[in-house]
Structure 1
Amino acid sequence: MALAVRSTWDPFTALVRQFDRDVFDGLTRSAPSAQGFVPAADVRKDGADVVLTLELPGVDVAKDVEVEVAERRLTISGRRHDEQSAEQGGLIRKEIRHGEFRREFSLPAGVTAGQVEADYDRGLLKVRIREVVKVPAAPAKIAIRGAEAVEVPAVEAG
């Protein structure tokens, strides 16, 4: 008795199904947002001033951002809240990063909080540090320990 096997496998249909799975997986695969939100920053000189510009779109700067000067460091920290949860309908891919952030910049000696001002406009936080001048170090001679004057005996010509 011969057994007849009918295959319902269609290579074209299988290819289309695999393509659909790959596309959907590619759209829903987790993006680098797991790394958290780190705002991009530009630093430039403007005469004797230094201006830092940070991209902070979607951040409530009045409530969620702090700019501090302490111990020769300028610290800008805050939080961008997640506006959509994954449970909300229609979300296929999530790339907009959110979470807490902290950016620190070294300041030259002598810079005080009175020299720093910050403005926010259309998603950009601009922090201006006024009159940043490098104070030249005064030249000074350094004593060498252990190099006390040692008398060298005179050599007689002979």
Structure 2
Amino acid sequence: MSGMIERLPGWPALPDLFGWVEAGLPGVHTAPGTHGIRVEERLTEGTYVLRAELPGLDPTKDVEITVTEGVLTLRAERSEETTEKHRTEFRYGTFTRSVRLPAGARGDEATAEYKDGVLIITIPVPEAKTGTRTIPVRHV
């Protein structure tokens, strides 16, 4: 075989390592038939902030944000047509990303804003009060 890696018939070629790093392992963050969304997460001073790259979308029509049982799901649909002198190009697809929110996050108080192709979702995460409680023991 002289140093070449042969692909077995019927098996797809492996995706490049960079693609796995960017999108995560297949099936972990995205649903089948969808594309991943690049995100940054930050938790500081009682606030969770998620920034997502979504250029070229109309956030009022193309973006859906849901929070269910501590999981934030971001879904976007893109349908774009570019027409030049002798050709037309369509770019479309469904993009999705789900992330587990930090413990205590108040998803029902989330806010979102879109600027310059970046969606910013902010969710309050109040600091948990960790007081000490003494439990009396009853003698029976």
> With structure 2 as the length reference, what TM-score do the two structures score?
0.57
Match of 2:99 among 105, 115, 122: 105
Q: Residue in 1 aligned with 2:60?
A: 62
Provide Cα deviations, 1:104-138, integer angstroms capped at 9, x if missing partner: 010234433333111111111000111254576x9
Q: Residue in 2 aligned with 1:116?
A: 110
Shift of 1:90: 4.2
Shift of 1:73: 0.4
Equivalent position amino acid for 2:100 in 1: S
Equivalent position amino acid for 1:68 in 2: T
Q: Residue in 2 aligned with 1:20?
A: none
Q: Residue in 1 aligned with 2:36?
A: 38
Matched residues in 2 for 1:43 and 1:132: separation? 17
Q: Kindly report the root-mean-square deviation, in angstroms, between the aligned alpha carbons of the 2 structures.
A: 3.3
Name the structure with the higher helix share.
1
5+ long unaligned stretches in structure 2: 1-18, 20-32, 133-140
Moved beyond 4 Å, runs of 4+: none
> Which of 119-128 and 38-47 deviates more?
38-47
Matched residues in 2 for 1:122 and 1:58: separation? 9
Aligned residue runs from structure 1 range 7-18, under 5 A: none
1:66–1:132 Cα change, 3 Å: farther
1:89–1:37 Cα change, 3 Å: farther
Identity of aligned residues (%): 32
1:115–1:89 Cα change, 3 Å: same
- Determine which structure has more spread, i.e. the larger CA radius of gyration: 1
| Aligned residue pairs, count | 101
Q: Residue in 2 aligned with 1:127?
A: 121
5+ long unaligned stretches in structure 1: 1-31, 139-158
1:121–1:101 Cα change, 3 Å: same
